[in-house]
A = this chain, B = another copy of it.
Amino acid sequence: MVQSFDLLLLFDYIGTMVFAISGTLTAAQKRLDIFGAIFIGFVTAIGGGTVRDIMLGNLPVSWIQSNNYFFVILAGILITILFKKHVIRLRNTLFLFDTIGIGVFTVLGLEKALAFGISAPIAVIMGLSSAVVGGIIRDTLTNEVPLIFHKEIYATACITGAIIFLIIYYLHVPEVICESVTVLSIIGIRLWAVKYNITMPHISLSEKE
């Protein structure tokens, strides 16, 4: 179990750093100043876990209890500011780590909710929040309708992964296998959706459609 946790933790840090990079890049595209970029980088990285921890009552929130997240995020932000051209060229690598990140965040959020005795459907929401709320805050602060509300299969991958986790978890499959299968499912669904350009249907209010 320890091994599984260590690997999860490693990917948690990598995911956090990639989220910080994504926030910093978004801020740069919006022509914010360096402080704006640092701030948006931070909240993108810690937003999801923070909102989850607050709703669960797990306070002080996780990231302020250890300096590790702080330094991982700061590293992501500084790398982006200093080497922005190179970072932008790593688009595909970043996309992959971002996808691994949301898989890991979903699993960690789900497990934390279950540890707090939260029921299965709400635990799915907590897993999802961990993965998507950072990006929603990033887009709201830069005055955009959150990307996740109108583009890409992203949340759907997390929700599907979370449901898979719960099913095999309640079948007493060992936790490390639950975690691996879930993260791989989320990655698989997202890559598949992006490759075939699959998006969620929109709801129309017009009579004709």
**Interface of A with B (CB < 8 Å)?**
24-25, 27-37, 39-40, 42, 50, 54-57, 59-61, 63-65, 67, 70, 81, 84-85, 88, 113, 116, 118-119, 121-122, 125-126, 136, 140-146, 148-151, 154-156, 199-205, 207
A35 touches B200 (CB 8 A): yes
Which 3 pairs, one residue from A and one from B, show the smallest C-beta to C-beta distance?
Answer: A57-B59, A36-B149, A33-B200
Copies of this polypeptide in the complex: 3
Chain B residues with CB under 8 Å of A122's CB are 63-64, 67, 70
Instruction: Compute how far the CA of A85 lies from the CA of B209 in the bound complex, rounded to whole angstroms.
Output: 11
Instruction: Compute how far the CA of A119 lies from the CA of B63 in the bound complex, rounded to whole angstroms.
Output: 11
B67 touches A61 (CB 8 A): no
Instruction: Compute how far the CA of A144 lies from the CA of B200 in the bound complex, rounded to whole angstroms.
Output: 23
Q: Of B27, B125, B203, which one neighbours A203 at CB under 8 angstroms?
A: B27
